[in-house]
């Protein structure tokens, strides 16, 4: 039985867990990715922070032209391990300084140094590695989801399609993480150094969590066009200085909430950036804290004179921490402010009118004729530069265009149901009125698509009879399928007509606003019972020849109450789903996925479909992958993802590991030290089991094998244990 002093045990108890592989692991979770994108034709490193990131084995970025590889990871190491590594770091730096001092001495006679066999890594690399590990380790992070850190190298091909992607990290036993937004950009990029994990804010001690950064780092000089990546800390303002010329039509766009839609433990539930633009004299010339109804601000500014300008970004109430991430683009890139109409009939997209900045010579490509019903994205392109995407809806009903003047019942535009009217609230306090003939007990649905199609219109709908009596009214109607909108501003009602006769549908803006951007699509029809599906989470791991289950949520439309049958659509070989039915009283059901495979070589994409009989037809819809996210401690949202990933895990598989360093034998001096420690412990009557001592030694050995301790330092610490093999 070995015996060691208690003070030695206490100082080393935190070492054992460091870098020890987990036997079981939950699904990895990514809190943020920084930077959240990069330019075509570049290779760069990104920082991923989250939980359950132990043993990252792969990185997935969907789409073409982007590859990524895992570099290294860091985790919370504890106070004891921190002291151990700090001690090793101090010794390495002292040895480096001593060696440098000897080189500076002129004429000094070098004494012969005995050669001691060692397999120590390069001291400079070891110093860098330990420094980075200590830098990334924080005792009390601002959020528990920042405990793990992984560094990933991303390469974007020059021909990679620009736009939004999804990035996931993969662990051996946890599978694929939640997806995070990652952008492929077209202009040069600048990224501020990643923020160290900020300390948790404590009421009355907020100052302790603030970032102490040199004043020189607050402002960065840019050459336009440019995209800058940054993180905002508490009380922090990031500024960017650039030169602009008279007549330039600058577009300054922000991506912040677009990157991380919801932050669970923050109010209002996301980073709310504010943009301020100053001229060379420090005068504010432009300001924005949102763009129309979207929290991410945009400044459209025509430069009045040559000179220097400064763009500043901060949080609206000066909050900040690691996941307050932004991408700020400044230049003369094409920017679409509105399109009209907002949609078309399937197979007949027609011409789309575009308004915005820097669109001379730009072309907007309409959806392909084979595109089915639903909402898709369209962009304008100019000399290879791509604009911001705009939403465009396709439907199967007949279409009509609104015709002015139709702002009163006496001037109401006549329509025949069913129809979708494409219109605009052209000016402030404007109303558009439509007239149709209805029958007693006939059910009519009126639905506005505007806010869900990027229009700033906050619609209000009312239905009146020929005498002007109100039959139905609606301002806002929640659409659970549109979970990125927290203000469900589109209107909807389903009303039974009381008698035969003429009826009038009135549409306006709740705040009495209007203009060219205030477009809408108004559906007037009989009920069209239907449904949409969301599947949560957007990735799954199945044990070899095992099974798992996913939650499928139904969003029922126009009074649909039928059963929905759930199943995998064209599943990969060896993967099946067990029968599942969502009854008329359910809005959520579980579907079980079974794997008859030993393992998959890589992730496969799954598609879950739901089918239901509506009238005389069988309607089939695919479930949109989603993540269940919380906003501001209370509200839950199903945030859509692009893919549903499945991995079948072989528990017997062990990935190849990098060769580990073999610890050296103890030197005679160290053996003598170990014996003296044991003797001192025996004299004091302190006793510990061999199992306890072996555990402590394994912890030190793990650090050594990872290249964090030198031969001598390792041997000295083992000797301090009184541990002699």
Identify which of 69, 177, 149 has the alpha carbon closest to the alpha carbon of residue 647.
177
- Provide the whole-model pTM: 0.87
Asked if 534 and 624 count as a contact pair (C-beta separation under 8 A), the reply is yes
Question: What's residue 161's pLDDT?
Answer: 96
CATH number, domain with residue 229 = 2.60.120.380
Asked if 316 and 268 count as a contact pair (C-beta separation under 8 A), the reply is no
State pLDDT tens for residues 260-301.
999 988 888 999 999 999 999 999 999 999 999 999 999 999
Residue 535 lies in a domain: yes
State pLDDT tens for residues 226-246.
999 999 988 899 999 999 999
Asked if 57 and 70 count as a contact pair (C-beta separation under 8 A), the reply is yes
pLDDT (average), residues 571-583: 91
Confidence check: pLDDT of 120 > 70: yes
Question: What's residue 111's pLDDT?
Answer: 56
Q: How far apart are CA 70 and CA 667, in angstroms?
A: 38
Structural domain for 615, as ranges: 531-649
Cα atoms found within 13 Å of the Cα of residue 429, Cβ hemisphere only: 0
Query: In the structure encoding, which two tokens stand for residue 89, read together?
Result: 């770091």
29: which strand partners? 51
State pLDDT tens for residues 480-491.
888 888 999 999
Please check whether residues 387 and 449 belong to one and the same domain: no
State pLDDT tens for residues 531-548.
999 999 999 988 878 889
pLDDT (average), residues 144-173: 93
Single out the residue in 333, 357, 382 at which a domain terminates: 333
Burial class (CB in 10 A: 0-12, 13-18, 19+), 599: middle
Query: In the structure encoding, which two tokens stand for residue 293, read together?
Result: 């109804």
Question: What's residue 692's pLDDT?
Answer: 77
Query: In the structure encoding, which two tokens stand for residue 601, read together?
Result: 């070589």
State pLDDT tens for residues 88-107.
999 999 988 888 887 776 55
Residue 695 lies in a domain: no
Confidence check: pLDDT of 174 > 90: no
Burial class (CB in 10 A: 0-12, 13-18, 19+), 101: exposed
Asked if 725 and 680 count as a contact pair (C-beta separation under 8 A), the reply is no
Residue 124 lies in a domain: no
Confidence check: pLDDT of 657 > 90: no
Please check whether residues 36 and 178 belong to one and the same domain: yes
Asked if 276 and 349 count as a contact pair (C-beta separation under 8 A), the reply is no
Please check whether residues 515 and 437 belong to one and the same domain: yes
Confidence check: pLDDT of 320 > 60: yes
Residue written as tokens 């945030």?
A: 639
Q: How far apart are CA 556 and CA 584, in angstroms?
A: 10
CATH number, domain with residue 538 = 2.60.40.340
Q: How far apart are CA 296 and CA 255, in angstroms?
A: 6
State pLDDT tens for residues 59-86.
999 999 999 999 988 877 777 778 889 9
Q: Which of 550-564, 650-664, 671-685 has the lowest mean pLDDT?
A: 650-664
Cα atoms found within 13 Å of the Cα of residue 679, Cβ hemisphere only: 6
pLDDT (average), residues 518-534: 97
Q: What HEC string does 265-313 produce?
A: CCCCCCCCEEEEEECCCCCEEEEECCECCECCCEEEEECCCCEEEEEEE
Residue 672 lies in a domain: no
Please check whether residues 380 and 303 belong to one and the same domain: no
Which contiguous run of DSSP H or E holds residue 129? helix 123-136
Which residues lie closer than 8 Å to 378 by C-beta, 6 or more apart? Answer: 339, 352, 364, 365, 366, 367, 389, 390, 392
Helix, strand or coil, per DSSP, at residue 250? strand
Asked if 427 and 509 count as a contact pair (C-beta separation under 8 A), the reply is no
Residue 718 lies in a domain: no
Q: How confident is the model at residue 110 (pLDDT cuts 50, 70, 90)?
A: low
Q: How confident is the model at residue 220 (pLDDT cuts 50, 70, 90)?
A: very high
Domain count, the chain: 5
CATH number, domain with residue 344 = 2.60.40
Q: How far apart are CA 251 and CA 247, in angstroms?
A: 13
Please check whether residues 535 and 498 belong to one and the same domain: no
In 10 A of CB 655, how many CB atoms?
Answer: 8
pLDDT (average), residues 424-441: 96
Confidence check: pLDDT of 7 > 70: no
Which contiguous run of DSSP H or E holds residue 692? helix 690-705
Please check whether residues 413 and 524 belong to one and the same domain: yes
Asked if 160 and 42 count as a contact pair (C-beta separation under 8 A), the reply is no
CATH number, domain with residue 43 = 2.60.40.10
Question: What's residue 19's pLDDT?
Answer: 39
> How is residue 601 annotated by DSSP?
S
Buried b / exposed e along 176-210 (16+ C-beta atoms within 10 A): bbbbbbbbbbbbebbbeebbebbbbbeeeeeeebe
Confidence check: pLDDT of 14 > 50: no
Asked if 433 and 524 count as a contact pair (C-beta separation under 8 A), the reply is no
Please check whether residues 449 and 494 belong to one and the same domain: yes
Q: How far apart are CA 560 and CA 460, in angstroms?
A: 24
Please check whether residues 192 and 182 belong to one and the same domain: no
- Strand 380-382 and strand 580-582: the pairing is unpaired
Single out the residue in 627, 649, 671 at which a domain terminates: 649
Query: In the structure encoding, which two tokens stand for residue 54, read together?
Result: 């132990």
Asked if 512 and 428 count as a contact pair (C-beta separation under 8 A), the reply is yes
Q: What percent of the chain has pLDDT over 70?
A: 90
Q: Is the peptide bond before 418 cis (omega within 30 degrees of 0)?
A: yes
Confidence check: pLDDT of 647 > 50: yes
Confidence check: pLDDT of 649 > 80: no
User: What is the average pLDDT score of the chain?
Assistant: 89
In 10 A of CB 639, how many CB atoms?
Answer: 21
Question: What's residue 234's pLDDT?
Answer: 87
Please check whether residues 311 and 243 belong to one and the same domain: yes
Question: What's residue 723's pLDDT?
Answer: 76
State pLDDT tens for residues 16-38.
444 344 344 689 999 999 999 99
Helices (H) and strands (E) in the chain, counts: 6, 50
Single out the residue in 511, 528, 545 at which a domain terminates: 528
Please check whether residues 457 and 555 belong to one and the same domain: no
Q: How far apart are CA 295 and CA 529, in angstroms?
A: 33
Q: How far apart are CA 408 and CA 430, in angstroms?
A: 10
Residue 701 lies in a domain: no
Q: What distance, in Å, lies between the first and last C-alpha atoms of the chain?
A: 13
Identify which of 263, 260, 232 has the alpha carbon closest to the alpha carbon of residue 37.
260
State pLDDT tens for residues 330-359.
999 999 999 999 999 999 988 899 999 999
Residue 685 lies in a domain: no
Please check whether residues 69 and 167 belong to one and the same domain: yes
Please check whether residues 291 and 148 belong to one and the same domain: no
Residue 315 lies in a domain: yes
């Amino acid at each position: 039985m070995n015996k060691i002093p208690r003070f030695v045990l206490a100082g080393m108890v935190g070492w054992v867990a460091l870098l020890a592989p987990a036997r079981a692991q939950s699904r990895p979770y990514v809190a943020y990715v920084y930077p959240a994108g990069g330019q075509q034709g570049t290779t760069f490193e990104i920082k991923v922070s989250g939980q359950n990131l132990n043993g990252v084995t792969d990185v997935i970025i969907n789409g073409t032209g982007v590859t990524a590889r895992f570099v290294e990871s860091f985790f919370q190491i504890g106070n004891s391990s921190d002291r151990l590594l700090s001690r090793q770091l101090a010794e390495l730096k002292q040895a480096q300084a001593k060696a440098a001092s000897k080189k500076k001495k002129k004429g000094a006679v070098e004494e012969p140094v005995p050669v001691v066999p060692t397999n120590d890594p390069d001291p400079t690399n070891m110093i860098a590695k330990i420094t980075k590990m200590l830098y990334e380790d924080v005792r009390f992070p601002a959020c528990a989801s920042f405990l793990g850190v992984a560094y990933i190298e991303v390469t974007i091909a020059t021909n990679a399609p620009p736009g939004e992607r999804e990035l996931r990290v993969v662990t051996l036993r946890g599978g694929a993480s939640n997806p995070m937004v990652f952008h492929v950009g077209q202009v040069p990029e600048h990224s501020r150094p990643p923020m160290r994990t900020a300390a948790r804010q404590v009421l009355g001690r907020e100052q302790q969590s603030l970032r102490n950064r040199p004043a020189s780092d607050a402002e960065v000089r840019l050459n336009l066009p440019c995209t800058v990546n940054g993180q905002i800390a508490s009380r922090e303002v990031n500024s960017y200085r650039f030169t602009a010329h008279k007549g330039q039509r600058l577009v300054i766009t922000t991506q912040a909430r677009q990157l991380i839609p919801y932050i669970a433990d923050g109010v209002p539930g996301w980073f709310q950036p504010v943009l301020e633009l100053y001229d060379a004299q420090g005068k504010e010339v432009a300001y924005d804290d949102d763009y129309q109804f979207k929290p991410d601000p945009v400044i459209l500014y025509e430069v009045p004179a040559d000179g220097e300008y400064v763009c500043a970004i901060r949080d609206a109430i000066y909050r900040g921490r690691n996941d307050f991430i932004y991408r700020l683009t400044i230049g003369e890139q094409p920017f679409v402010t509105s399109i009209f109409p907002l949609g078309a009939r399937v197979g007949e997209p027609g011409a789309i009118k575009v308004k915005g900045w820097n669109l001379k010579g730009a072309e907007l490509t309409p959806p392909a004729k084979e595109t089915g019903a639903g909402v898709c994205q369209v962009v304008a392109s100019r000399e290879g530069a791509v604009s911001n995407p705009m939403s465009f809806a396709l439907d199967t009903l007949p279409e009509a265009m609104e015709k002015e003047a139709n702002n009163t019942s006496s001037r109401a535009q006549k329509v025949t149901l069913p129809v979708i009217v494409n219109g605009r609230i052209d000016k402030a306090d404007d109303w558009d009125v439509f007239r149709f003939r209805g029958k007693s007990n006939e059910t009519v649905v009126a639905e506005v698509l505007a806010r869900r199609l990027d229009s700033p219109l906050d619609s209000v709908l009312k239905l009146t009879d020929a005498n002007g009596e109100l039959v139905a009214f609606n301002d806002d109607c929640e659409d659970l399928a549109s979970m990125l909108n927290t203000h469900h501003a589109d209107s909807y009602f389903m009303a039974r007509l009381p008698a035969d006769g003429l009826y009038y549908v009135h549409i306006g803006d709740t705040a009495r606003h209007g203009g060219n951007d205030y477009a809408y699509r108004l559906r007037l029809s009989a009920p069209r019972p239907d449904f949409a599906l969301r599947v949560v989470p957007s990735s799954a791991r199945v044990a070899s020849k095992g099974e798992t289950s996913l939650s499928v949520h139904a969003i029922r439309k126009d009074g649909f109450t039928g059963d929905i049958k759930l199943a995998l659509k064209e599943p990969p070989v060896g993967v099946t789903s067990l029968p599942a039915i969502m009854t008329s009283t359910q809005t959520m059901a579980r579907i079980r996925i079974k794997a008859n495979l030993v393992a998959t070589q890589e992730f496969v994409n799954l598609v879950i479909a739901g089918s239901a009989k509506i009238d005389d037809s069988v309607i089939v819809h695919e479930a949109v992958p989603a993540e269940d996210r919380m906003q501001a401690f209370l509200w839950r949202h199903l945030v859509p993802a692009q893919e549903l990933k499945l991995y079948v895990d072989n528990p017997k598989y062990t990935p190849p590991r990098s060769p580990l360093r073999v610890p050296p034998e103890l030197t005679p001096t160290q053996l003598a030290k170990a014996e003296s420690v044991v003797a001192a412990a025996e004299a004091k009557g302190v006793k510990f089991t061999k199992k306890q001592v072996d555990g402590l030694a394994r912890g030190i050995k793990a650090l050594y094998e990872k290249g964090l301790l030198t031969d001598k330092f390792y041997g000295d610490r083992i000797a301090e244990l009184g541990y002699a093999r």
